[in-house]
């Protein structure tokens, strides 16, 4: 499910789908105005036995979205009354960008066996928002486990990364990874 969320952050307006607990889960992020986007999550339940718990269980896995009370429900459309309803919430464009960058880092590190940060950070990690691989950072949001940022600092993922400036060393290392990938493509 986390990969599907990351893919949606990279492909605004496109529906990304996966199977979770026997249901087809669809996630779409649409651009809105004033720095906010709409995160829309829907599913087609076929076999899940505890259908009444499904929204709370799935939506709780989405980082920084809080309890079910922060979501609104849109019932199935009149043109497809048997279709899925959806849950939606407003999210900041910065949060979407942060997830998109995390997904990009996953791609950049794919096939790189021995990545080690240039000039690894040793302190000051609480002063910045850091970049990390998407599959790691989103898991860290949910579990609270410490992870290694792209700069080398060991951090606990914050719930709202857009409230702090991005670590300059993480930005430098991201630029380095991007240049390494573009030189591989040439």
Domain boundary among 76, 92, 108: 92
Residue 102 and residue 157 share a domain: yes
Residue 174 and residue 99 share a domain: yes
**How large is the C-alpha radius of gyration of the chain?**
18
pTM of this structure: 0.70
- 125 contacts 154 by C-beta, under 8 angstroms: yes
Task: Over range 125-145, report the average pLDDT.
Answer: 77
CA pair distance 184, 186, nearest whole angstrom: 6
Q: What is the predicted pLDDT for the residue at 101?
A: 83
pLDDT at 74 over 80: yes
Q: What is the predicted pLDDT for the residue at 83?
A: 66
Task: Over range 10-22, report the average pLDDT.
Answer: 86
Model confidence pLDDT, tens digit, residues 32-55: 777 788 888 888 766 555 556 667
Domain boundary among 92, 112, 141: 92
How many structural domains is the chain composed of? Answer: 2
Domain boundary among 75, 92, 109: 92
| Angle, alpha carbons 27-133-101 (nearest 5°) | 60
Instruction: Classify 124 in phi/psi space as left (phi over 0), alpha (psi -120 to 50) or beta.
Output: left
CA pair distance 70, 171, nearest whole angstrom: 32
Residue 86 and residue 153 share a domain: no
Question: Residue 56's domain spans which residues?
Answer: 2-92
Residue 83 and residue 19 share a domain: yes
């Amino acid at each position: 499910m986390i990969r599907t969320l990351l893919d949606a952050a990279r492909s605004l307006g496109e529906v990304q789908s996966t199977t979770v607990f026997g249901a087809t889960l669809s996630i779409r992020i649409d651009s809105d105005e004033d720095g906010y986007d709409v995160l829309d999550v829907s599913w087609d339940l076929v076999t899940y036995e505890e259908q009444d718990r499904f929204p709370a269980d799935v939506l709780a896995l989405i980082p920084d979205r809080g309890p079910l009370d922060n979501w609104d429900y849109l019932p199935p459309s009149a043109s497809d009354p048997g279709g899925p309803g959806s849950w939606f919430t407003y999210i900041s464009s910065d949060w979407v960008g942060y997830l998109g960058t995390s997904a990009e880092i996953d791609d950049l590190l794919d096939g790189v066996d021995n990545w080690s940060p240039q000039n690894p950070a040793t302190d000051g990690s609480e002063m910045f928002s850091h970049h990390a691989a998407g599959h790691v950072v989103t898991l860290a949001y949910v579990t609270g486990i410490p992870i290694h940022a792209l700069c080398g600092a060991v951090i606990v993922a914050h719930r709202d990364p857009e409230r702090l400036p991005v670590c300059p060393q993480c930005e430098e290392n991201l630029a380095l990874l991007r240049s390494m990938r573009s030189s591989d493509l040439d």
